[in-house]
Amino acid sequence: MNDLERRLRTAFAAQEDLAPDADSVLAGVEAAVARHRRRRRAVRAGGAAVAAGATAAFLLTADGEGFGWDRTAVQQQTASGDPARSAASEQEAARAFSDAGYTYDDAVHLSGLWQTAQPWDAKVEGGHKLLEGRTLPITPGTAPSAQSPDEQALNAYVGAGYDWDDAAALALHWGLDDPSDAKVRAGRLLLDGGTVPVEPGSAPPAAEGSPGPGDPGDGAVADPANQRAWEAYERAGYDYTDAHHLAALWVGEVAPRTGELLSDVKAVAGDELLAGNRLPVESGRPADALDLPAGALERFLDEGYTSGDAAELAQRWGIGDTASAKAVAGLKLAAGTGLPFPAGSFEAPASEPAPDAAGEQALDAYFGAGYGYDQAVELSQLWKVEDILEVKITAGKKLLAGERLPVQPTRG
C-alpha cells in the first residue's frame, strides 16, 4: 500500500457511513497510479510528443514514483500575429503576472474589465501585456478581495513566509490556545503594517503530536507534519477547488468530497510539493483544461448522458464546470456507482446546445482517439474556430473519415 492509499484509507475509515466500499475507492487510486506510471514509461521510452508548437512532458522524480508532470501550454497568437506574443507560453505569461505583484483578485477584476471566460485567461492576457512592456489598467494588489478578513489574514501570514512552528511560538507568546488564532492575529498585524514578534521560519520545530488546527474550516486536529504540508500547498497558490480536482484525478471521486478527504488530498499534495515534485493540476487553472483521467468522458457519453445531465450534476455536486462533472460522473459509472438520475433526464442549457447523433458519434471518436481539451484549443487556433465544442465535433468527423489531425493525442 503506497502512502496516498494509506492516508486516504484512514480518511475513509472515519466516514464509513458516507463512503462506499473502501476497496472500490482504492481501486480507483491504484488505477490512477498505474496510469501515471504507464505514461512515465512511455515518455522514458520515446520522449514527449511535440506537435504544432505544443508539448506535453512528464517530470520524473529520481525514483520514478512522482505523480506530477509539467505541461508547456499552447502558445497564444495575437490578432496581429505579433511574434513577441507567440514566443511566450501561458505559463510564462502567468508567471510574469504574479512576479509583477498582481494577485488572483486582480485577475478576477481584469477578467470583468476584459470580459474573459476565466480569471486564468485574464492572468495570461495580463502577463503577455507585461512581457510586451505594456501597462495594465490597474495597480498590482489593488483589486478588492472577495475573501473574508480571516482568509486575508491567513493568506498574508503564509505569504510572508511564516509556518506552523511560527504559529505555535506566537500562540505561546500571546497566550492563545490555538495556533490558528495566532496565524490570524499575526496576519492582521502584517496587513496593518505592524511587526510580528517572530521572524518568518525562525521558531524551533513544535513537538511531534502537539495539537494544532486542521485545514481552515474542517475542525480537524493535525500533527505538525500535516500542517507543514497544508501550508506548502497553500503557499504554492492551490485552494479548495484544486483539491477537488486532485481528488478527481487521484481517487476517482468515488467517495464523497468531505472535509476529511480534501484535507488528506491537500496533505498528500503538500508533501509532493515539499519533495520538489510537480502536481498534475496548475493552481487556478480552469477545470476543463485539466488532463482528466482517460476514459471518463467517453464512459459518460457511452451511457447516454448529455450536457444537460452534466449541468445538473455540476449544480448538485458543487462543481464549477460541466467538463469536470462529466469526468466525475464517468468515473463513478466506471466504478459501478450509479448516478442520481437516468441518462437523458435533463435538456442541454440554451447556451450549450446538445450535439445531434452525428455530433455525439464524432465526440466519441475524438475522445476515443485520445484527444482532449488542450488539443481542441490548439486546433481552434489552427482552424480559426472559437467554439471548442464545434472544434471537437469537426475533428471527430475527420477521424471517422480516416483523416489525420494536425496535432497529436494526449495518450498513445
pLDDT for 121 equals: 81
State the burial class of residue 159 (Cβ atoms within 10 Å of its Cβ: 0-12, 13-18, 19+).
middle
Q: State the average pLDDT for the chain.
A: 67
Q: Are strands 50-51 and 54-58 parallel, antiparallel or unpaired?
A: antiparallel
Comparing CA positions, the residue from 302, 318, 293 lying closest to residue 372 is 293
**Residue that wins the pLDDT comparison between 221 and 347:** 347
pLDDT for 323 equals: 67
Give 54's strand partners: 51
Residue 27 neighbours by CB distance under 10 Å: 15
Q: Give the tens place of pLDDT for each residue, 171-222.
A: 888 888 778 788 889 988 888 888 898 888 787 765 433 433 333 333 334 4
Q: Give the tens place of pLDDT for each residue, 261-312.
A: 666 777 788 877 777 777 777 665 544 434 445 466 677 877 888 888 888 8
Residue extents of the structural domains in the chain: 78-131, 149-274
**Residues 6+ away with beta carbon under 8 Å from 101:** 140, 141
Q: Is the pLDDT score of 252 beyond 60?
A: no
**Residue that wins the pLDDT comparison between 315 and 259:** 315
The four Cα atoms 378, 81, 123, 385 give a dihedral, to 10 degrees, of -40
pLDDT over 70 for what percent of the chain? 58
Comparing CA positions, the residue from 97, 56, 87 lying closest to residue 73 is 56
**Rounded Cα gap, residues 142 and 384, in angstroms:** 36
Q: What are the φ/ψ torsions at residue 292 (nearest 5 degrees)?
A: -70, 155
Strands of the sheet containing 50-51, edge to edge, are 50-51, 54-58, 69-72
| End-to-end CA gap in the chain | 28
Q: Is the pLDDT score of 80 beyond 90?
A: no
Q: Give the tens place of pLDDT for each residue, 14-53.
A: 444 434 444 554 454 445 444 444 433 433 333 333 222 3
**Rounded Cα gap, residues 92 and 113, in angstroms:** 22
pLDDT for 226 equals: 67
Q: Give the tens place of pLDDT for each residue, 85-133.
A: 544 477 788 888 888 988 877 888 898 889 887 777 888 899 999 999 9
**Residue that wins the pLDDT comparison between 125 and 70:** 125
**Residue that wins the pLDDT comparison between 133 and 73:** 133
**Residues 6+ away with beta carbon under 8 Å from 342:** none
Among 133-137, 326-330, 408-412, the range scoring the smallest mean pLDDT is: 408-412
pLDDT for 129 equals: 92
Comparing CA positions, the residue from 221, 231, 239 lying closest to residue 273 is 231
**Residue that wins the pLDDT comparison between 376 and 221:** 376
pLDDT over 90 for what percent of the chain? 4
The four Cα atoms 146, 149, 150, 156 give a dihedral, to 10 degrees, of 80
pLDDT for 130 equals: 93
Largest CA distance in the chain: 73
The radius of gyration of the chain from alpha carbons, rounded to an integer in Å, stands at 22
Residue 276 neighbours by CB distance under 10 Å: 11
The grid coordinates listed for 371 are: 484527444
pLDDT for 353 equals: 57
Among 3-12, 300-309, 355-364, 393-402, the range scoring the smallest mean pLDDT is: 3-12
The four Cα atoms 369, 375, 376, 380 give a dihedral, to 10 degrees, of -130
Instruction: Tell me 288's DSSP state.
Output: G
**Residues 6+ away with beta carbon under 8 Å from 16:** 22
**Residue that wins the pLDDT comparison between 327 and 365:** 365
**Rounded Cα gap, residues 8 and 174, in angstroms:** 35
Is the pTM value of this prediction over 0.85?
Answer: no
- Grade residue 372 by pLDDT with cuts at 50, 70 and 90: confident
Q: What are the φ/ψ torsions at residue 381 (nearest 5 degrees)?
A: -75, -40
Comparing CA positions, the residue from 239, 228, 240 lying closest to residue 273 is 228
**Residue that wins the pLDDT comparison between 90 and 135:** 135
